[in-house]
A and B are shown apart, each in its own frame.
Chain A
Amino acid sequence: MGTATLPTRGDEAWRYSDIDALARAWPLPAAECVVVPADGHFARTIFQNSGSVHTLDIAIGTGATAAIHILNIGGEYGRVELNVTLHEGADFKLGAVQIGGGNQNLEIITTVTHAEPSATSSQIVRSVLAGTATGTYLGKVAVARDAQLTDSVQSVKAMLLDRSATANAKPELEIYADDVKCAHGCAIGELDPMGLFYLQARGIAPADAKKLMLQAFVAGVFEGAADEEMLTEAALKKLGDLV
Chain B
Amino acid sequence: MLQITNLHANVGDQPILKGLTLSLGAGEIHAIMGPNGAGKSTLGYVLSGRPGYEVTEGEVWFTPHVFPGEGRGPEPKTEDSSAALDPGLRRGTQGPINLLDLEPHERAAAGLFLGFQYPVEIPGVSNVQFLREALNAQRKNRGEAPLSGAEFLKVAREQAGALGMDMDMLKRPVNVGFSGGEKKRNEMVQMGIINPALAILDETDSGLDIDALRIVGDGINRIMRKPDKAVLLITHYQRLLDYVKPDFVHVLADGRITRSGGPELALELEREGYRELAA
Interface of A toward B, CB cutoff 8 Å: 192-195, 197-206, 208-209, 212-213, 215-217, 219
Q: Separation in Å of the B74 CB from the closest CB of chain A?
A: 17
Complex Cα distance, B123 from A215, in Å, reads: 11
Complex Cα distance, B190 from A198, in Å, reads: 12
Interface of B toward A, CB cutoff 8 Å: 48-51, 71, 103-105, 107-109, 114, 116, 119-125, 129-131, 133-135, 137-138, 141, 173, 190, 194
Contact yes or no, A201 B137, CB < 8 A: no
Give every chain B residue within 8 A of A199 (Cβ-Cβ).
122, 130, 134
Contact yes or no, B135 A203, CB < 8 A: yes
Contact yes or no, B51 A201, CB < 8 A: no
Known: A202-B134, A204-B133, A216-B122. 11 other contacts (CB 8 A): A200-B108, A201-B49, A201-B108, A201-B114, A201-B116, A202-B130, A203-B105, A204-B137, A206-B103, A212-B125, A216-B173
Q: List the A residue with the shortest CB-CB distance to B68.
A: A203
Complex Cα distance, B119 from A216, in Å, reads: 18
Complex Cα distance, B157 from A219, in Å, reads: 26
Contact yes or no, B138 A203, CB < 8 A: yes
Give every chain B residue within 8 A of A215 (Cβ-Cβ).
124-125
22 A-B pairs within 8 Å (CB atoms) are namely A192-B120, A195-B120, A195-B121, A197-B51, A198-B116, A198-B120, A199-B134, A200-B103, A201-B49, A202-B131, A202-B194, A203-B141, A204-B137, A205-B71, A205-B105, A212-B129, A212-B130, A213-B124, A215-B124, A215-B125, A216-B122, A216-B124
The 8 Å CB contact of B104, one of A192, A201, A208, A217, is: A201
Residue among B50, B121, B122 facing the most chain A CB atoms (10 A cut-off):
B122
Give every chain A residue within 8 A of B116 (Cβ-Cβ).
198, 201
10 tightest Cβ-Cβ pairs between the two chains A and B: A216-B124, A203-B108, A203-B138, A202-B134, A198-B120, A200-B104, A203-B134, A203-B137, A200-B105, A216-B125
Q: Separation in Å of the B257 CB from the closest CB of chain A?
A: 24
Give every chain B residue within 8 A of A205 (Cβ-Cβ).
71, 103, 105, 137
Q: List the B residue with the shortest CB-CB distance to A216.
A: B124
Q: Separation in Å of the A39 CB from the closest CB of chain B?
A: 35
Contact yes or no, A212 B120, CB < 8 A: no
Complex Cα distance, B137 from A200, in Å, reads: 10
Complex Cα distance, B45 from A55, in Å, reads: 51
**Given A193-B51, A204-B105, are A213 and B122 also a contact pair (CB < 8 Å)?**
yes
Q: List the B residue with the shortest CB-CB distance to A209.
A: B105
Give every chain A residue within 8 A of B124 (Cβ-Cβ).
213, 215-217, 219
Contact yes or no, B50 A213, CB < 8 A: no
Give every chain A residue within 8 A of B51 (Cβ-Cβ).
193, 197
Q: Separation in Å of the A155 CB from the closest CB of chain B?
A: 14
Contact yes or no, B133 A212, CB < 8 A: yes
Complex Cα distance, B105 from A215, in Å, reads: 20
Give every chain B residue within 8 A of A212 (Cβ-Cβ).
125, 129-130, 133
Give every chain A residue within 8 A of B50 (Cβ-Cβ).
197, 201
Complex Cα distance, B182 from A31, in Å, reads: 54
Contact yes or no, A208 B133, CB < 8 A: yes
Complex Cα distance, B19 from A67, in Å, reads: 63
Give every chain B residue within 8 A of A197 (Cβ-Cβ).
50-51, 104, 120
Give every chain A residue within 8 A of B114 (Cβ-Cβ).
201
Q: Separation in Å of the B80 CB from the closest CB of chain A?
A: 24
Q: Separation in Å of the A213 CB from the closest CB of chain B?
A: 7
Q: Separation in Å of the A220 CB from the closest CB of chain B?
A: 8
